[in-house]
Amino acid sequence: SYELTQPPSLSVSPGQTASITCSGDKLGDNYVCWYHQKPGQSPVMVVFQSNKRPPGIPERFAGSKSGNTATLTISGARASDEGDYFCQAWDSKTGVFGGGTKLTVL
DSSP-based three-state secondary structure for 29: helix
- 3-class DSSP string for 32-77: EEEEEECCCCCCEEEEECCCECCCCCCCCEEEEEECCEEEEEECCC
Given its phi and psi angles, is residue 46 left (phi above 0), alpha (psi -120 to 50 degrees) or beta?
alpha
In the bound state with other proteins, the residue whose beta carbon lies nearer, of 15 and 28, is 28
Amino acid at 42: S
> Which of 12, 23, 31, 68 is the binder for other proteins (CB under 8 A)?
31
- Is 80 a residue that touches other proteins (CB under 8 A)? no
Minimum CB–partner distance for residue 14 and other proteins (Å): 26
Minimum CB–partner distance for residue 84 and other proteins (Å): 7
- Is 12 a residue that touches other proteins (CB under 8 A)? no
List of residues contacting other proteins (CB under 8 A): 1, 31, 33, 35, 37, 42-45, 48-49, 54, 84, 86, 88, 90, 93-100
